[in-house]
């Protein structure tokens, strides 16, 4: 996702500096060439060797040593960067940047770069709420600096409150968003993900193996590409995507309500959720007791949300998934027609590496115009990009 991208990661002196190691790992794993700049204080917390080993680039901290070098001065680094991330960013560095001070390598390089700058603050809650800090942050935002807000939590100083560095995965997502093309700007995308649970009694339910990975990958990718995304998610273990409005639901009926309320305002609807087709006719109020007799559950059909959307279809581009174990194309085409869809993502879930609860998928994209595009084994993140590419192309006509 970041292949060939040149990124500077500035690390300043706070206990959260160790989390920058995880961020660096995510960036390099995605293909970026990362140059780490550390302040002197940062080196008190984590050694440069850790960052050097993981980035496979020398770590820079000395302003004057670098100027002496002909090839990699701070200006050369600043020019080459396509993105500058500062994580963690202390109140001190944010204060200096807000006032145009450049007294070390990190602040000097930020001042010299034309790349977007993404700041992930981390500090004591009282410092974070200090009006002087707030003014500095506002000033930087007004000058086009981007922020990933810290979160609530137990801080290293013993206080509890806002000021804890945001999760490295979410800082990574914010970085991806800054570098992505914005070909979905102006679109309002509704995505469903994960399974639904249909309760039998207070402790038992009917469900399926959907992990939500496919739908979450679509929501993340669409948000990066500029769409306003709402994700309606059944129960999963996944982290809510950064910048996406996420609504948690449990049953098919709850998912239906949430989808119907929001679908009218959406320009694209993608139904990646594996909605349970049936639910118990009666949900027992108390735990069902074990007896010597067989237990017979009567199931009734759940509403087909996608079919309902297809029937009432107005302007939105409607995308369904088809999870099949045989006759993939024939069954998927039937869904395309019967549910009045614009595109069907057909996955043969019996194939290894495809479908439920894995990180990859193998699909065919069937469009309303009769075209069938066969895709190879891809990660769900890669596939999400390809599905969105296809939607953009089909919408253009
Ligand atoms: O979540 P993961 O672990 O990443 O797995 C991804 C996935 C396999 C769940 C996903 O790729 C997928 O195939 N999702 C659709 C699964 C499914 O329910 O398929 P279906 O063929 O039964 O349904 C067809 C379409 O109708 C789907 O878009 C589904 O969301 C929708 N539907 C189905 C039943 C129902 N009652 N309401 C619906 O809206």
Q: Which residue has 């007004």 as its token pair?
A: 142
Single out the residue of 280, 279, 332 nearest to residue 306, CA to CA.
Answer: 332
Q: Which residues pair with 365 in a beta bridge?
A: 345, 373
Rounded to the nearest 10 degrees, the angle between the axes of helix 168-179 and helix 213-224 is 50
> What stretch of H or E contains 231?
strand 228-233
pLDDT of residue 138: 98
Q: Mean pLDDT score of the chain, rounded to an integer?
A: 95
Per the CB < 8 A criterion, the answer to whether 77 and 60 are in contact is yes
The H or E element spanning position 379 is strand 378-379
Residues in the chain: 397
What pLDDT was estimated at residue 77? 87
- Residue carrying structure tokens 């369904």: 320
Residue 331 token pair: 């069954």
User: Considering the entire predicted model, what is its pTM?
Assistant: 0.92
Atom of ligand 1 at shortest distance to CA of 319?
28
Domain coordinates of the chain in residue numbers? 6-179, 188-396
The predicted pLDDT at position 74 comes to 72
Q: Output the CA torsion 146→147→148→153 (10° steps).
A: 180
Cα–Cα distance for residue pair 30/172, rounded to 1 Å = 10
On the question of a common fold for 6-179 and 188-396, the answer reads yes
* Contact of 99 with 135, CB cutoff 8 Å: no
Q: What is the pLDDT of residue 160?
A: 83
Q: Is 273 in the pocket of ligand 1 (CB under 6 A)?
A: yes
**Is the domain 6-179 a CATH 3.40.50.1950 member?**
yes
Active site residue 237: no
pLDDT of residue 65: 66
> So what's the pLDDT on residue 76?
84
Residue 213's contacts (CB-CB under 8 Å, 6 or more residues apart) are 238, 357, 358, 359, 380
Whole-angstrom distance, CA of residue 330 vs CA of residue 336: 10
CATH 3.30.930.10 fits 188-396, yes or no: no
Q: Tokens for 323?
A: 């999870």
Q: Is 256 in the pocket of ligand 1 (CB under 6 A)?
A: no
Report the alpha-carbon distance of residue 177 to residue 222 in Å, rounded.
Answer: 10
pLDDT reported for residue 109: 95
Q: Which residues of the chain have pLDDT under 70?
A: 65-73
Q: Ligand 1 pocket test: which of 273, 311, 312 has the largest number of ligand atoms within 8 Å of its C-beta?
A: 273
Whole-number Å distance, alpha carbon 211 to ligand 1 midpoint, is 11
Pocket test for ligand 1, best of 238, 263, 323 (most atoms within 8 A of CB): 323
pLDDT single digits (tens) 343-390: 999 999 999 999 999 999 999 999 999 999 999 999 999 999 999 999
């Amino acid at each position: 996702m970041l292949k060939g991208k040149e990124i500077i990661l500035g690390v300043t002196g706070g206990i959260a500096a160790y989390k920058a190691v995880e961020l660096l790992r995510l960036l390099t794993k995605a293909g970026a060439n990362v140059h780490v700049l550390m302040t002197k204080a940062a080196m008190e917390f984590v050694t440069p060797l850790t960052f050097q080993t993981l980035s496979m680039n020398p770590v820079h901290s000395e302003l004057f040593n670098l100027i002496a070098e002909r090839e990699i001065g701070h200006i050369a680094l600043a020019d080459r960067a396509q993105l500058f991330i500062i994580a963690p960013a202390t109140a001190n560095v944010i204060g200096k940047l807000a006032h145009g001070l450049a007294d070390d390598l990190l602040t000097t390089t930020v001042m010299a770069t034309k790349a977007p700058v993404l700041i992930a603050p981390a500090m004591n809650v009282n410092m974070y709420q200090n009006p002087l800090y707030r003014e500095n942050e506002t000033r930087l935002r007004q000058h086009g600096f981007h922020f990933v807000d810290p979160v609530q939590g137990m801080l290293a100083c013993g206080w509890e409150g806002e000021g804890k560095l945001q999760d490295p995965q979410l800082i990574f997502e914010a970085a991806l968003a800054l570098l992505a093309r914005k070909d979905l700007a102006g679109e309002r995308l509704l995505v469903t993900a994960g399974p639904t649970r249909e309760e039998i009694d207070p402790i038992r339910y009917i469900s399926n193996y959907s992990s939500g990975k496919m739908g979450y990958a679509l929501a993340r990718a669409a948000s990066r590409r500029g769409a306003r995304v709402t994700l309606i998610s059944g129960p999963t273990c996944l982290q809510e995507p950064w910048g996406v409005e996420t609504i948690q639901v449990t049953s098919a009926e709850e998912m239906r309500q949430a989808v119907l309320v929001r679908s009218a305002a959406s320009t694209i609807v993608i139904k990646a959720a594996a909605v349970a087709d049936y639910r118990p006719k009666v949900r027992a109020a108390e735990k069902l007791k074990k007896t010597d007799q067989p237990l017979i559950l009567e199931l009734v059909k759940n509403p087909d949300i996608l079919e309902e959307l297809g029937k009432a279809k107005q302007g939105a581009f409607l995308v369904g998934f088809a999870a099949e174990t045989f006759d993939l194309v024939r069954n998927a085409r039937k869904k395309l027609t019967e549910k009045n869809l614009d595109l069907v993502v057909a996955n043969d879930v019996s194939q290894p590496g495809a479908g439920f609860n894995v990180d990859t998928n193998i699909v065919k994209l069937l469009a309303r115009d009769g075209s069938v595009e066969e895709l190879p084994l891809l990660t769900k993140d890669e596939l999400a990009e390809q599905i969105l590419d296809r939607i953009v192309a089909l919408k253009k006509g």
